[in-house]
Amino acid sequence: MNTRFGGYLCERGGGADAELTHVERGTPGGEYLRRFWHPLALASELTDVPRAVRLLGEDLVLFRDHAGRLGLLHRQCSHRGASLEFGILSARGLRCCYHGWLYDIDGAILETPAEPETSRIRERLCHGAYPVVERAGLVFAYLGHPQARPALPRYDSLECLADLAPFKLLYPCNWLQVHENTADPIHIPFLHGRVSGTPQFSPGFSELPALAFRETPLGLVVASTRWTGGRLWIRCADVMLPNVAQYPPAFETSEASRAVVGAWATRWITPIDNTSSWVVGYRHFDRVIDPDGQGRREHVGVESLDFAGQTAQLGEARQRDPGDWEAMVGQGAIAVHDDEHLCASDRGVTLLRSLLRTRIRASTATGREPGGGPEPLPTYTAELALPCATVPAPAQLAELGERALSHLVEHAGVPRAQRAQQLADHILEALACR
């Protein structure tokens, strides 16, 4: 529509892209997502009572029994449908409060105390259960076919850090529009700098970057390249399929020379259902990522993160100083792609959707995705701030970003510190040849 004051002529409100956004069992996206592990809780949230949870549209109950084992069961008891949210923790599993049926963590029925000893129902029936594991303070679940269960992925960025602080934030909207935020780095100078009432990051973030994108074995990596204050500043972020992302430091100012390979945060977008999701992950704390100690571990946890814009604000503050939460939730319960008008700066979003659609269509009931194995998987999150006396042209900035991405991907097996120095030398050499 191209008519001024033509709101009446503007047709909006098409249907959601169900192939990408819907997560229930039997949907293309839901079956694809069930091929991966998803974090659904902080280990610290598990107490002496079961916890009702919802994941991928399924109502479940999460618990730790008296032996310390984690369990994730269908919420309704197999006997008469009472909620196991009100079950009683046992030395081995969870007992329904209604008629005392006792379930092991794998769904085996251990006791049916009201039935005669001759009853064979325990041998004939298993309750719905899913595997759960704990890693570094997060609880991960796998909801897919038992025969297709992969190993829980190990990312190199998580293997070298002594202090990982888990967090979990509720976003009342579809998982995909939250995940796409990392593939859309051009939002940063506007939402976090030029437009919001109070700049949420350092002034250099307000400079418009040149963008570069490259596919990786796990998804894609994004480079944002700026010139600010006499320095070339390149930030590279991982966007991994289906729903993982990593960021370089948010406290960076680019005022000092710097070369770092490693993540400041790793996060998953865990779908609760089609219209709500958890942002679950780790803040990374070490002196390489945050040499000035600006991070605040005490501010990281449930509904809390130590940088601006990640949780809901109250009242008019949401309008005066919106952040990521408002921008993503404000797109609606499920963003309608047919109503969008994507542009050149949306290349990352377009690429992510294309990769997801390709993987969804190629998936099979017993297929496996890359991600599990004995060796840590290489990731490509990095940050460079290098001296650069003259302002490069936009095309040169984009080329330098592409060089950085190529070097990161091609030297994935190099140790972190050595890889960072090699990356800096590679870009400095390119600057000298301009």
Across 86-109, average pLDDT: 97
Angstrom distance (rounded) from CA 213 to CA 406: 10
Contact (Cβ atoms closer than 8 angstroms) between residue 299 and residue 305 = yes
User: What pLDDT score was predicted for residue 200?
Assistant: 66
Contact (Cβ atoms closer than 8 angstroms) between residue 208 and residue 201 = no
Q: Summarize pLDDT for 134-144 with one digit per residue, the tens.
A: 999 999 999 99
For CA atoms 185, 187, 188, 190, give the dihedral sign.
Answer: positive
Least confident of 71-85, 317-331, 345-359: 317-331
Least confident of 313-322, 335-344, 410-419: 313-322
User: What pLDDT score was predicted for residue 398?
Assistant: 92
Across 174-189, average pLDDT: 92
Q: Summarize pLDDT for 105-121 with one digit per residue, the tens.
A: 999 999 999 999 889 99
Contacts of 223 (CB under 8 A, 6+ apart): 211, 212, 213, 214, 234, 235, 236, 401, 402, 404, 405
Q: Summarize pLDDT for 33-52 with one digit per residue, the tens.
A: 999 999 999 999 999 999 99
Whether the per-residue pLDDT at 366 is higher than 50: the answer is no
Residue 356 vs residues 180, 225, 328, 349: alpha-carbon distances, Å: 11, 26, 19, 11
Contact (Cβ atoms closer than 8 angstroms) between residue 295 and residue 285 = yes
CB crowding 262-279: b at 16 or more within 10 Å, else e: bbbbbbbbbbbbbbbbbb
User: What pLDDT score was predicted for residue 105?
Assistant: 98
Fold of domain 37-143: Rieske Iron-sulfur Protein (2.102.10)
User: What pLDDT score was predicted for residue 30?
Assistant: 97
- Label residue 195 by pLDDT band (50, 70, 90): confident
Would the pTM of this model clear 0.95, i.e. be above it? no
C-alpha 25 chain-centroid distance: 21
Angstrom distance (rounded) from CA 325 to CA 308: 10
Whether the per-residue pLDDT at 197 is higher than 60: the answer is yes
Q: Summarize pLDDT for 209-266 with one digit per residue, the tens.
A: 999 999 999 999 999 999 888 889 999 999 999 999 999 987 777 677 889 998 999 9
Contact (Cβ atoms closer than 8 angstroms) between residue 67 and residue 91 = yes
Bridge partner list, 244? 240, 268
**Cis peptide, bond prior to residue 242, ω within 30 of zero:** yes
Mean of all residue pLDDT scores within the chain: 90
User: What pLDDT score was predicted for residue 365?
Assistant: 45
Least confident of 18-32, 56-70, 165-179, 321-335: 321-335
Residue-range domain boundaries for the chain: 37-143, 156-432
